[in-house]
Structure 1
Amino acid sequence: MNCDRRNFIKRLVGSVFTLKMSSAFAAPLLPEFWEREQSKRLAAVIAENALHTARLYGCQFCDIRINWVQKERILAREHRIEELAGSFESGMGIRVLFNGTWGFASSNVLDPKEAAEKTRQAVELAKHCLKFNPRRVELENIPSIQGSWHQKVHVDPFQLPVEEKTSLLLEINDQALKAGAHFCRSYLLFHKELKIYASSLGSWIEQTFLRTYPKFIVTVVDKKEGRFESRASLEAPKSGGMEVVDKKAFLTEVVEATSQAKEKLLAKPVSPGKKDLVIHPTNLWLTIHETIGHSTELDRVMGLEANYAGTSFLKPDQLDKFDFASPIVSIRADRSQPGGLATVGYDDDGLPSSWADFFIIEKGILKNFQMSIGQAHWIGKERSNGCSYAQSYNYFPIQRMPNISLVPSDSNERLEDLISGVEDGIYIIGDGSWSIDQQRYNFQFGGQLFYEIKKGKIGQMLRDVVYQGNTLSFWKSCDGLCGKDEYKLCGTLFCGKGEPSQSAPVSHGAVPARFRNINVLNIHLLS
């Protein structure tokens, strides 16, 4: 090609008024693309065509999301790079509310005429669904917002040389192999997004996001016994650029992880029974996610996820009076924590992040459910609380978790203080296998590292540990929390929900916590 990338894209946008970018041109373009007035005008015309068409058809409400997304994935195993992949996608999703019924359509062609046609299709879908919709949508009072939010990024990974990123993974693997690992896999995932939101209420919102996920897994093998053990890195994905990846810490941790994997081969199998648990945030985040995060989603509570992702043991009339947990337990939602995967300026209903700052559980009492628009009236609320997200432009926005975190204790208790209060128990680090029923009630969780606690002291490593219980008895058994100095933010990029299934990024902060008299099983004795 005789022209450079920038001139090529400029001619493409200017000549056909339709934006299509191949992955070959994706890497450097996203920030530059949106700085151009022509690109902004294109988005404005697309949005107005959709909203105008919805008004002509008599829709009560319409909104449009226009997305541009860059992704990069680099995978390494031992001394080689196994995958180096990048992608770029763009498109629009249009949602209409017609006679109390939602309709939705999407397209990967960003063109004003296409926007009008897809809006018409969304209206037709809503009309078709009217007869299947016994519960009409009642929108609350939604504000009109003109705003923007741009995530602070210090080192954009898409601007770094590929060699710099691949060399980091190969260096991590090399350190593991030198320390005695038989295998080491590592990877870097990056997700960068520009999102425009406009609504028939007059909202216009521009946002940019960047999420980064570094990870490794080391494996050691006992060839004589035919056994192997693994240990994965404990750092979670976070919002931000390459600055969230601490190279020195990763190189140190991979050596430690290799040593611990070797130790797991020799660890003593756990003896089943009732034991006190001290759980590190790298394990507890997943328990929070599954038992509290999902059980307090209002669409589940109302039975709307029953066909796929399950319902909840909770009931709508339990707010402000239901004893969910120990009085020392408070769980807070937010979309503002630095590094939080669900941290944004506005959700996919166009609501400000301040609406998503609320207690789900306060001093043990159930205080609120997570909601998207059109749900507040189900529980007598005046407004929803900023809990809407769609995986991409071609997905309907549904209720999804904001960041949901365990509030630290006001005391200065540290991990050693919690452990000192345990006569016979287990200290658990890192997330592992998990299983929970369709009502988010009965569960079973594993982990990565387990240490015996005897008479207030950490002892030898254990293996084959899973802890079992139900959501209410587990959280009511919590009698110790560390202070804010031991707070850690963990989470996942891939929380699944909905039909068709959508993945959502969400973080969960926690401190080490102590739970009394929990049922512990030996996983190899279960069969």
Structure 2
Amino acid sequence: MKRRNFVQYAGLGAGALLMPSLFMGNNIPEQALLEPGMDKITKKIMADVALNTAKSLGATYADARIGRYLNQYVFTREDKVQNVVNTESFGIGIRVIANGTWGFASTNNVSQDGIKKATEKAVAIAKANSKIQKDPVKLAPVMAYGEVSWKTPIKKDFKEVPVSEKVDLLLSSNAAAMENGANFANSALFMVNEQKYFASTDGSYIDQDIHRIWPTFGVTAVDRVAGKFKSRQALSAPMGMGYEYMDGLDSEKLEGPAGLILYRNSYDMIEDAAMAAKQAKEMLTAKSVDPGKYDLVLEPNHLGLTIHESVGHPLELDRVLGYEANYAGTSFATLDKWKSKDFQYGSDIVNLVADKTQPGSLGAVGYDDEGVKTKKWDLVRNGILTNYQAIRDQVHMIDQNESHGCCYAQSWNDVQFQRMPNVSLEPGKDKYSIHQMIKDVEKGIYIVGRGSYSIDQQRYNFQFGGTVCYEIKNGEIVGMLDDVAYQSNTQEFWNSCVKICDETDYRQFGSFFDGKGQPSQVSAVSHGSATSRFKNVNVINTGRTI
């Protein structure tokens, strides 16, 4: 799964047919989602089989992850249900260090005999690998937490909500779009429950119950006479929440410019679909942008993708070191820039933080997949590059002795490795609204939602588009624009940030399927920000040819 698929999945028609093969697990009936999994006492017994076997074979460290992964996906188009997918995956992954080298094996035979055989294989792999490894693995110390638990603080479990209710919501959203001028509409709900148990020879036994949800849609309006069509995707954000995200129990809507309704903490899918259809129709006659320099006012649902690509990925330590180059390369943010302690990643109002504890975020967990308690830390403070993202066997490379707690595996049968935590732009400290920001712009463009994008192999030079774009003249929005994309490089772009709205405008964007590694794995991650203004950025017209 490529990273950019999380943008492309807005076009869901073909995706409905691909779901069973994209996500590991066996198809199960809906009611099986509610069946209890293995109890904690049995999990501990089984995990100890792995740990004790590893130690008896000479491993100096071992961890075991027993995972039960439950997924439900619902797809519709116009007035039809395209697909409903329920899957379950259950097994154990065992990671060891023997002769100073990693080894990993997994099995879905979660019996004492099956676990012993998998552990023997993991140790044998480590010992074989040690013959060619030059430097032994160095693990940062971690606290032994004993037996602890953590759960996403949900109010409504998606597994307890009938599929019929979810289908009704999606079809109602499609109908709202069609009633307001859309010619085509499709929609989907992605719901995930990870039940994970981690145990290690360091003395931790950690049970976690993690929930995520993503409602999304795509609507298209067609001008058959002109032979044109325009699409508008959902302004929803994937969240680390329960089904209450769809109920509006904690409804909070922000009135944005140009009649936009922006969502936080809950999501009104039907309302957004109706608004999307009207905007898609308006796009058909929107003015094509004149290329040039503009002040950009970037809404959080849009800015999150820019943060993801220009901050999140280039500050992954394995990319910085050149150990990881899959999915768009390594990083320009090399160690010499960090060691200088004065590399100006952005302007002095730019504060970018990594945070695995952020409530409601996709990346929120109590402990990572190495048993490290999660936390928040600075990546960029007052514009200066201050840190990276690193796990237990990496932090010594940047002269640190504590893991950042950002290790993750997409499943029990994948080895855990460094993954992006939630990476967010802190809101401004002074009270400042999006409406005030618009008034302060003489010549600019307000960009909402994600569009097509590209970025180079060093995560430096890039181009981003949006879902909906509006022209700003003399402090007022004067109309919709088409064919908008902006070009910059990471350092130039973040140094052009001149104003950030306050916390009342702070919202999260999310990636449900962020790809990395070879073999590839996906993870879920959020990026929070408030609406921000960037000065004098180069805008191109994507509809014109040279």
Query: Which TM class, normalised by the smaller chain length?
Result: over 0.9
- Out of 432, 438, 461, the position equivalent to 2:457 is 438
User: Which is worse superposed, 337-346 or 156-165?
Assistant: 156-165
2:342 pairs with 1:341: no
- Asked if 1 retains the 8 angstrom alpha-carbon contact of 2:355 and 2:422, the reply is yes
Identify if the C-alpha distance between structure 1 residues 123 and 495 changes in structure 2 by more than 3 Å, giving closer, same or farther: same
Contact preservation (8 Å) 1:219, 1:231: yes
Shift in Å at residue 134 of structure 1? Answer: 3.0
Alignment CA distance shift 1:60-1:481 (3 Å): same
Counterpart among 456, 464, 489 of residue 475 in structure 2? 456
| Percent of pairs with identical residues | 44
Task: Tell me the amino acid that sits aligned with residue 87 of structure 1.
Answer: T
| Equivalent of residue 474 in structure 1, options 478, 486, 493 | 493
1:415 aligns with 2:434: yes
Name the CA distance, whole Å, in 1 between partners of 2:135 and 2:490: 30
Give 1:42 shift. 2.8
Distance in 2 (CA, whole Å) between partners of 1:308 and 1:503 is: 12
**1:29/1:518 Cα in 2 relative to 1: closer, same or farther (>3 Å)?**
closer
Secondary structure of the equivalent of 1:70?
Answer: strand
The letter of the residue matching 1:57 is L
Question: Contact 2:327–2:515 (CA<8 Å) still a contact in 1?
Answer: no
CA distance in 2, matches of 1:98, 1:526: 58
Match of 2:346 in 1: 325
Whether the aligned pair in 1 keeps the contact of 2:59 and 2:96 (CA below 8 Å) is yes
Does structure 1 retain, via aligned residues, the 8 Å contact 2:331–2:457?
Answer: yes
Give the superposition deviation at 1:179.
Answer: 1.1
Counterpart contact for 2:44–2:205, Cα < 8 Å: no
Which residue of the partner structure matches residue 84 of structure 1? 84
Moved over 4 A (4+): 28-31
Give CA-to-partner distance per residue, 1:358-415, whole Å, 9 cap, x none: 1111110111110111111101111121011100111111111111111011101111
Deviations along 1:48-84, whole A, 9 cap, x unmatched?
1111111112212110100011111110000000001
Question: Secondary structure in 1 aligned to 2:69?
Answer: strand
C-alpha displacement of 1:294: 0.5
What is the letter of the counterpart of residue 47 of structure 1?
A
1:141 maps to 2:160? no
Q: Which residue of 2 aligns with 1:155?
A: 156
Q: Map residues 164-183 of structure 1 onto 2, 5 A cutoff.
A: 164-183=165-184
Q: TM-score, normalised by structure 1?
A: 0.92
1:278-299: per-residue Cα shift (whole Å, max 9, x none)?
Answer: 1000100000000000011111
Aligned partner (choices 320, 334, 346) of residue 301 of structure 1: 320
Instruction: Please tell me whether the aligned partners of residues 175 and 254 of structure 1 are also in contact (alpha carbons under 8 angstroms).
Output: yes
What letter corresponds to residue 466 of structure 2 in structure 1? G
| Secondary structure, aligned partner of 1:519 | strand
Which amino acid counterpart does residue 496 of structure 2 have in structure 1? S
Q: CA deviation at 1:29?
A: 5.2
CA contact (8 A) 1:489 1:508 kept: yes
Give the structure 2 partner of residue 13 of structure 1: none
> Matched residue of 2:392: which SS?
coil
How do 1:144-293 and structure 2 match up within 5 A? 144-146=144-146, 147-246=148-247, 249-293=268-312
Partner of 1:516: 535
1:307, distance to aligned residue in structure 2 (A): 5.1
2:99 match:
99
Q: Which runs of 5+ in 1 are unaligned?
A: 1-20
Structure 2 gaps of 5+ residues are: 1-24, 249-266
Per the TM alignment, residue 322 of structure 1 is displaced from its structure 2 partner at its CA by: 1.6
Shift of 1:120: 1.1
Aligned to 2:63: 63
Q: What is the root-mean-square deviation in Å for CA atoms of aligned residues? A: 1.6
SS of equivalent to 1:490: strand
Which residue is 1:17 aligned to?
A: none
Deviation of the 1:272 alpha carbon: 0.9
Secondary structure class of the residue paired with 2:130: helix
Q: Secondary structure at the match of 1:499?
A: coil
Indicate if the aligned counterparts of 1:28 and 1:158 stay in contact, CA closer than 8 A.
no
What is the deviation of 1:131? 3.6
Aligned to 1:72: 72
The equivalent residue for 1:3 is none
Change (3 A) 1:502 1:205: same
Per-residue CA distance 1:6-34 (angstroms, 9 max, x = gap): xxxxxxxxxxxxxxx96436645557335
Does residue 504 (structure 1) correspond to residue 508 (structure 2)? The answer is no
Residue of structure 2 in register with 1:10 after alignment: none
Say whether the 8 Å CA contact 2:464–2:486 is kept in structure 1: yes
Distance 1:56 1:308 in 2: 39
- State the shift of 1:180 in Å: 1.4
User: 1:32 corresponds to which residue?
Assistant: 36
Kindly provide the amino acid, as one letter, of the partner of residue 514 in structure 1: R
How far apart are residue 472 of structure 1 and its match?
Answer: 0.1
Separation of aligned partners in 1, 2:331 and 2:77: 41
Distance of 1:442 and 1:215 partners within structure 2? 29
**Residues 164 and 426 of structure 1: CA distance in aligned 2, closer, same or farther (over 3 Å):** same
Please tell me whether the aligned partners of residues 30 and 194 of structure 1 are also in contact (alpha carbons under 8 angstroms): no
Structure 2: distance between partners of 1:134 and 1:201: 25
Alignment partners' CA distance in 2, 1:516 and 1:31: 54
Is 1:447 aligned with 2:466?
yes
Alignment of 1:41-52 (within 5 A): 41-52=41-52
Paired with 1:291 and 1:460, the residues of 2 have a C-alpha distance of: 29
Question: Which digits, 9 at most, give the CA deviation of each residue in 1:193-241, with x for residues without a partner?
Answer: 2100000111100000111111111111111111110111111111111
Letter in 1 for 2:98: F
* 373-382 or 39-48, larger mean C-alpha shift: 39-48
What one-letter code is carried by the residue in structure 2 that aligns with 1:96?
Answer: V
- Whole-angstrom CA distance in 2 between matches of 1:487 and 1:85: 33
* Structure 1: distance between partners of 2:379 and 2:55: 37
Letter of the structure 2 residue corresponding to residue 179 of structure 1: N
Partners of 1:187 and 1:135 in 2: CA distance? 48
Q: C-alpha separation between the residues in 2 aligned to 1:269 and 1:308? A: 32
Aligned equivalents of 1:463 and 1:341: distance in 2? 31
Alignment-derived partner of residue 396 in structure 1: 415
Is this contact kept in 1: 2:356–2:406, CA < 8 A?
A: no
**Displacement of 1:113 after TM fit?**
1.2
CA distance in 1 between counterparts of 2:543 and 2:129 reads 50
| Alpha-carbon separation, structure 1, partners of 2:180 and 2:526 | 32
Whether 1:375 and 2:376 are equivalent positions in the alignment is no
Letter matched to residue 422 of structure 2: N
Note if contact 2:326-2:516 (Cα within 8 Å) is conserved in structure 1: no
Distance in 2 of aligned mates of 1:205 and 1:213: 26
CA–CA distance in structure 1, aligned partners of residues 220 and 29 of structure 2: 37
Q: State the distance in 1 between where 2:505 and 2:462 align.
A: 26
Q: Give the alignment's TM-score, normalised by structure 2.
A: 0.89
